[in-house]
């Protein structure tokens, strides 16, 4: 597998190759992030919110962002000869369906979504996708979700985040995007757990960002700690 997974992204669609790749000052972000003292519950979703998500998933048009990002996921898989994928927040498994329609050969697919307990628990894979999931997470549970992702992203993760309001409304009247935050806010969260290899902003289905991450160097066995 290529160490620099972003090298396989030389033929991106127009929206992803417009020169909007950000330069990340990760050491600076880590310094700022470490100054926060945020208390978070150890659960990834509350019982009440799980019921609200179950109601939303009755809408066939809910959870379709993975279809939009499937071509990019396909390029990452094919460029790095990956055929095993974990889909965190899989919903109705639209990502798998879209990849199959694109002719991508998937040997193993591991979906996870608390709304669908039949999928089982989150599983590690060479590529873990988390597509337009984090903005739906309850703020008090975000750290627990990132910690869970950290346990299954052993090689690379593909993460997308919508940054504006959703078109969908929860049964209790809240917007379905519980977290609507800037790129810098999200990066301060993400770099606590991952190295960000590649990041771009986009305007698909509204403003957002997508990134490729890997485990932090300090967590990789056999590698020296950075200075």
The number of domains in the chain is 1
The pLDDT tens digits of the residues spanning 15-59 come to 344 344 444 344 444 444 443 434 444 699 999 999 999 999 999
What's the predicted TM-score (pTM) here?
Answer: 0.80
Tell me how long the chain is: 227
* Helix 183-190 and helix 142-152, axial crossing angle in degrees, nearest 10: 60
Structural domain of residue 56, as residue ranges? 51-80+132-174+204-216
Phi/psi at 88 (nearest 5 deg)? -90, 115
Identify whether 157 is part of a domain. yes
pLDDT higher than threshold 50 for residue 8: no
């Amino acid at each position: 597998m290529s160490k620099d997974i972003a090298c396989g992204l030389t033929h991106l669609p127009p929206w992803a190759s417009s020169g909007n790749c950000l330069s990340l000052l990760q050491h600076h972000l880590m310094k700022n992030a470490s100054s926060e003292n945020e208390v978070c519950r150890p659960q990834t979703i509350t019982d009440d919110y799980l019921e609200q998500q179950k109601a939303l998933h009755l809408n066939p048009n809910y959870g379709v962002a993975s279809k939009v990002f499937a071509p990019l996921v396909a390029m990452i898989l094919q460029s790095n000869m990956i055929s095993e994928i974990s889909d965190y927040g899989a919903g109705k498994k639209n990502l798998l369906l879209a990849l199959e329609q694109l002719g991508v050969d998937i040997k193993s697919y591991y979906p996870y979504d608390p709304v669908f307990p039949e999928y089982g628990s989150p599983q590690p894979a060479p590529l873990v996708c988390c597509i337009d999931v984090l903005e739906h997470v309850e703020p008090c549970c975000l750290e627990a979700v990132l910690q869970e992702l950290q346990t299954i992203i052993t090689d690379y993760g593909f993460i997308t985040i919508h940054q504006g309001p959703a078109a969908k409304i929860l049964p209790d009247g809240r917007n379905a995007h519980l977290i609507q935050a800037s790129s810098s806010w999200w990066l301060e969260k993400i770099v606590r757990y991952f190295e960000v290899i590649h990041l771009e902003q986009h305007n698909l289905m509204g403003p957002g960002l997508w990134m490729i991450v890997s485990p932090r160097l300090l967590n990789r066995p056999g590698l020296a700690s950075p200075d």
